[in-house]
Amino acid sequence: MKKTALILLVFPIALFSCSKGGDSTTTTPVTPPVVVTEATIAYGIDIDPGAGNIYAALGATQTINVNLSSALPKAGVQIDVSTKKDSDATVVSSSSTSTTSATNTVSIENLQPGVLCTTTITITSKTTASNSVVKSFKIARK
């Protein structure tokens, strides 16, 4: 009887202390999220006189074609145009346009004869504020 009690005591302990072995939990690697980087904004304008030159406007209003040559951000861009007198930095004309088009027409208004001004065009991504480019040029009405 002692043998039977000893076997009944040892058998369950031996049974539960054995494992199947080889079972390990496998972790599925986590795929990092895909980060889409916007293309750096690049553009040209049709009336750019070049560095150090002055564009001669023929009237009080001058239209500018802004052509975006880079891929447009999905949410579009903001085009800000500001023209200030060189003599005292007062604002002559200012406009802002949101667009998803690569070709845009903007206007400079209130140009006065013989007054030298600087026009600054800033284009900023509506998705990523740090994706921005600025160009400036001199303009004067004849």
More confident residue, 19 or 93: 93
Q: How far apart are CA 41 and CA 19, in angstroms?
A: 62
Please tell me whether the overall predicted TM-score, pTM, comes out greater than 0.85 for this model: no
Q: How do residues 89-126 score in pLDDT, each as one tens digit?
A: 999 999 999 999 999 999 999 999 999 999 999 999 99
CA distances from 99 to 66, 72, 75, 120, 123 (A): 11, 10, 9, 18, 10
Domain 43-141 sits in CATH 2.60.40.2550:
yes
The answer on pLDDT for 15 being more than 60 is no
Within its chain, how far is the Cα of 64 from the centroid? 23
User: pLDDT grade, residue 2 (50/70/90)?
Assistant: low
